[in-house]
Amino acid sequence: MKWFHRTTEPWEIVERRTVEAVPMYAEDELEEIDVVRVADVPMGGTYVFDLRKGADLRRAVVFARQQLLQEALAKNYNVLLTEGYTFTHMRKGKRHRAEVRYIARPAHALGKLPPTPQPPFMAVLDLYVSQLA
């Protein structure tokens, strides 16, 4: 019996950058938030996106954050106290792909929440996207 293996070209890793989990709110903002419950362990998710251009990397990280927040809402948490992510930009021929691993510590807070901030250190991503252009 012969085994036929498809010759598939592997994804080449173009760039990988990590932003360690950092607090999303300043101490004075945390004093205004009535946190009732904090998750024992951080939540994380891995999301893969096909990219058309470099600017899509920023949208991929923002979308990954939104998805993780939706998963936290399903577990009765409504705010992310710390956030961090790793993005990996991959290439196969002319196709580009991004893998975003987003990690956050969710909590449940009462009352009015402050505006949701952008993911941390987006300037790291913007600098990389500007280098692609």
- Assigned domain for 80 exists: yes
Domain extent at residue 60: 24-132
- Reported confidence tier of residue 29, pLDDT bands at 50, 70, 90: confident
- Assigned domain for 12 exists: no
Would you say residue 5 has pLDDT above 80?
no
The total domain count for the chain is 1
Q: Is the model more confident about 25 or about 126?
A: 25
User: Which residue's entry shows tokens 């009352």?
Assistant: 111
Quote the CA–CA distance of 15 and 87 in Å, as a whole number.
8
- Assigned domain for 6 exists: no
- Assigned domain for 97 exists: yes
Percent composition of the chain: helix, strand, coil (DSSP 3-state, to 5): 25, 40, 30
- For residue 58, what is the DSSP state? H
Extended strands (E) in the chain: 12-23, 34-38, 43-51, 79-92, 95-110
- Assigned domain for 106 exists: yes
Return the CATH number at 78. Answer: 3.30.110
- Assigned domain for 13 exists: no
User: Which residue's entry shows tokens 């009732």?
Assistant: 36
Question: pLDDT for 72-123, tens place per residue?
Answer: 999 999 999 999 999 999 999 889 999 999 999 999 999 888 888 889 998 8
Q: Dihedral sign, CA of 112, 118, 120, 123?
A: negative
- Assigned domain for 38 exists: yes
Question: pLDDT for 52-68, tens place per residue?
Answer: 876 688 899 999 999 99
- Assigned domain for 5 exists: no
Q: Model-level pTM? A: 0.86
Would you say residue 23 has pLDDT above 90?
yes
Are the C-beta atoms of 35 and 109 separated by less than 8 Å? Answer: yes
